[in-house]
Amino acid sequence: MRQQTTLTRRQFLCRGAGILGAAIAAPSIIPASALGLDGAMAPSERITMGFIGVGTQGGGHLLGGAWTYLTGGYTARKDVQVLAVCDVWRDRRERAQQRVNQHYTETYGKGNYRSCEAYVDFRNVLDRDDIDAVLIATPAHWHATMAIMAAQAGKDVYCEKPTAVTVRESQAVLAAVRRYGRVYQAGSQQRSEYSGVFRRACEFVRSGRIGKLKEIYAYRDGGAMAWPTRFGAAMPIPEDLDWDLYLGPAPELPYDGDSGPHRFDIGELNWGQHHYDIVQWAADADETGPVVLFMEDGRTNYKYASGVIVYGKGYPGEPIGGEGGAVFVGSEGRIAVDRNAIVSYPPRIAREPLHPREVHLYRSDSHSGNFLECVRTRKRPISDVDIAHRAASALLLGGVVKQLKRPLKWDPQREEFIGDDEANRMLSMAKRAPWCV
């Protein structure tokens, strides 16, 4: 028979005091990372993130790559906690999950962090209330749809370029980000990185160092996207690929062995937004766009209301400008800039430091850092949704001209072609249900 033990009130109080004393006397071990010591940030202060698309580009952002400018990528940042990775390829998402959790185990110790989970469907990431922001690095035909759905889900967004694949899509991204009050950073990292050469070039141009700006050589012409009407022979879908989710807004196409990120691209859709982002910045056109578009020597060209003409080709004989850059020609000189260098003719234009009374543009020395700062402060990031929309539009308008091969007039305020129904129909494209956001 079980023996019953009865405690008097005095015995209970004495025993409780002894337990309390032991608890006070015993050491309480709390990891420094939980308190924000030793250079770590307390978990409650970290921005929680999900990564959608962890292939070459997204994997570089997540774990470190040439375009992230920080060893170890977002995972290595003390102010970020990666809670989710997502990819339609099983091997990519599982490998990314393993590497993230391995890093956190080595950094914070086993059990002192929340595990990173892997998903095939990005909607599972957006459904999580504990995720503050997402980074989207999928094939381009998904960018706008995912960004809109992320904004609707209350997430801040870092989205790789291009911002969208049609002008109407880009407008929808702009409207969603504004409506839901989200922070949006386009992956136009040239405004922040490369030792500030692009910012300085734009400051020199806008300060009048080359006189009146007349021409810009963009080194890339327009880009667009089109669903294919012909494709290769159908092949078995790999077991570790969710082909339906890869296609998403695209028509239901058979798998033909091509799941590359640029299979639907026309022209310079992949690289072009980098170039036109800098063109718009230097021309003080972040809030507008071209008014005339025309073809010349097989390239798309633009004319702005200011009289500036933008050529979708390189400046003859100038080696600088091809990697994301441009050449700016004025009445008193010219400047060439790309990811490797900035040069001017005459040399004194770019050699003399910027004076206090000259034009000083938004300065950011880290594109990812600027995004995270704005997530915390709710300030406008350096490549915010308004800027991204106009840069993407310039690129995509060139894609329309490239396909129609005739001059077009554009109204940058109403955002429509003037008197051209055929061209206006090309500002949007059909999407497969249920992705018609």
Catalogue all structural domains in the chain, each as residue range(s) with its CATH number. Answer: 34-190 (3.40.50.720), 195-224+268-363+385-425 (3.30.360.10)
Q: What pLDDT does residue 13 have? A: 39
Q: What pLDDT does residue 44 have? A: 73
Exposure string for 85-122, b = 16+ CB within 10 A, e = fewer: bbbbbeebbebbbebbbebbeeebeeeebeebbbbeeb
The CA radius of gyration of the chain, in Å to the nearest whole number, is 26
| Model pTM score | 0.89
Q: What pLDDT does residue 220 have? A: 96
Q: What pLDDT does residue 124 have? A: 98
Q: Report yes or no: 261 and 267 within 8 Å, Cβ to Cβ.
A: no
SS3 content of the chain, % helix, strand, coil (to 5): 35, 15, 45
Q: What pLDDT does residue 229 have? A: 78
Q: What pLDDT does residue 40 have? A: 58
Place of tokens 């206090």: 356
| Count of CB atoms situated within 10 Å of the CB of 260 | 9
Q: What pLDDT does residue 32 have? A: 44
Average pLDDT of each block of 10 consecutive residues along the chain (437 residues)?
41 41 41 48 85 96 82 94 98 98 92 90 98 98 98 98 98 98 97 97 98 98 90 90 97 91 92 98 98 96 98 97 97 97 97 96 96 98 98 98 97 98 97 91
Q: Report yes or no: 74 and 85 within 8 Å, Cβ to Cβ.
A: no
Q: DSSP class of residue 89?
A: B
